């Protein structure tokens, strides 16, 4: 039986060699474990993220009594240049870049820097102030560009990664910086802001967004762009930076706007319907024996207008537009603006006619000449 001992010893030795992991294999396993959905997404998108530096014209009201170089007595407007920064994302191999309007508005110079440090002087293709979306272009070909996702399919809680040029850090090593979080909320509505921007149906994320991130992409775990980072909520004095509440414009809206900007250089939002309205005051209500003082009354409908084709009549009372109550002519404009409507869109009017409530579809038409009403 002794002759079997050497064989058994050899078998045990070989088995122990198989169970023991070589150092290089251990390192390979650790390296693989560091690869996550987040690192994959960053790798997929990074080459298409750009830093943007602009020189903008700003205006400031000046009180002459506090300006030693002014000898007059009346306030005046002073125009001066300021440097600003932001982010963007390449969406085509021939150099089209999406960013925010507030990044490039009133710019006299736009400089775009790609990952790796190559810089271009970019041209403004167009911008839409209402949605805060702009399109710029650099003159080159075969550029890396991003895959655009579907923001209608977002799931609250899924990964969200924000990339861009926060605080100008893109210029330090010519690479976008990345922060990770989740989709915290969808369909967040903020209405019409003082800036003239309408932020509707926004994506909320806790991925850190800071000044300079504006215009950069928010991506999912597949590296697809699902939104354009736009603004944050911060401390009461707006000096606290990111507190984990940031917002991005959904990419499906961005696609629509960018298409119009590429074709026409703008989104046509100057419209007419040929419908003239007036607010209802108590005297008018009594005189016309109207059952309500709410809404606005139609005082005229122009011939061959969309209002006439829709069947609107003088004396109809408009109670609501797109299910939102109306009490003045300005309310109609505000609701249409906040709905991000453009020429060719339909809006739903809820009208009162002889005590009957009726819904009517009204088309916003391109004005062919000077017009009045809405």
CA dist., res. 188 & res. 231, Å (int)? 13
- Nearest alpha-carbon partner for 40 in 224, 223, 181: 223
Distance CA 84, CA 79 (A): 16
List the Cα angle 231/234/236 in 5-degree steps: 130
50's CB contacts (< 8 A; 6+ apart) are 87, 88, 89, 90, 97, 112, 113, 114, 115, 165, 170
Q: Other CB atoms closer than 10 Å to residue 316's CB: what's the count?
A: 23
**How far, in whole angstroms, is CA 220 from its chain's centroid?**
16
Catalytic position from the list 48, 87, 128, 132 = 132
Question: Which residue is catalytic, options 46, 48, 102, 306?
Answer: 102
The verdict on whether 214 is a catalytic residue reads yes
Query: Which CA distances in Å does 251 have to 89, 217, 256, 289?
Result: 12, 9, 9, 49
Burial of 372 (0-12, 13-18, 19+ CB in 10 A): exposed
* Token pair recorded at residue 361: 């579809």
As a 3-state breakdown, the chain gives helix, strand, coil percent values, each rounded to 5, of: 25, 35, 40
Please state, as a whole number, how many other Cβ atoms lie within 10 Å of the Cβ of residue 13.
9
For every residue of 250-293, DSSP letters joined together read EHHHHHHHHHHHHHHSS-----B-SEEEEEPPHHHHHHHT-S-S
Active site residue 189: no
- Of 87, 151, 184, 214, which one is the catalytic site residue? 214
Name the residues annotated as catalytic: 102, 132, 214
């Amino acid at each position: 039986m002794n002759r079997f001992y050497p064989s058994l010893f050899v078998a045990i030795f070989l088995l122990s060699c198989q169970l023991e992991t070589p150092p290089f294999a251990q390192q390979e396993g650790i390296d693989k474990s560091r690869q996550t959905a987040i690192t994959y997404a960053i790798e997929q998108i990074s080459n298409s993220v750009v830093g943007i530096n602009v020189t903008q014209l700003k205006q400031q009201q000046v009180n002459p009594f506090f300006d030693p170089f002014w000898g007059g007595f009346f306030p005046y407007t002073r125009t001066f240049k300021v440097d600003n920064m932001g982010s963007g994302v390449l969406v085509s191999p021939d150099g089209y870049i999406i960013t925010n309007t507030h990044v490039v508005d009133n710019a006299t110079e736009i400089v775009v820097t790609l990952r790796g440090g190559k810089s271009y002087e970019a041209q403004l293709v167009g911008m839409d102030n209402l949605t805060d979306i702009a399109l710029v272009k650099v003159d080159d070909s075969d550029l890396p560009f991003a895959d655009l996702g579907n923001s209608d399919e977002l799931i609250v809680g899924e990964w969200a990664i924000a990339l861009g040029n926060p605080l100008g850090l893109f210029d330090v090593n010519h690479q976008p910086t990345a922060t990770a979080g989740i989709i915290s909320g969808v369909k967040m509505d903020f209405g019409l802001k003082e800036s003239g921007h309408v932020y509707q149906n926004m994506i909320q994320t806790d991925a850190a967004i800071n000044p300079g991130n504006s215009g950069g992409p928010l991506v999912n775990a597949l590296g697809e762009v699902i939104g354009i980072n736009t603004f944050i909520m911060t401390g009461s004095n707006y000096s606290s930076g990111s507190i984990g509440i940031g917002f991005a414009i959904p990419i499906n809206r961005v696609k629509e706007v960018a298409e119009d900007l590429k074709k026409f250089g703008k989104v046509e939002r100057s419209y007419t319907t040929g419908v003239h309205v007036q607010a209802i005051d108590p005297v008018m209500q009594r005189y016309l024996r109207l059952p309500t003082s709410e809404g606005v009354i139609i005082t005229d409908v122009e011939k061959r207008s969309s209002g006439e084709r829709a069947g609107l009549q003088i004396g109809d009372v408009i109670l609501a537009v797109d299910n939102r109550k109306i009490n003045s002519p300005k309310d109609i404009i505000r609701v249409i603006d906040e709905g991000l409507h453009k020429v060719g869109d339909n809006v739903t009017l809820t009208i009162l006619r002889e005590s009957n409530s009726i819904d009517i579809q009204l088309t916003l038409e391109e004005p062919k000449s000077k017009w009045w009403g809405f």
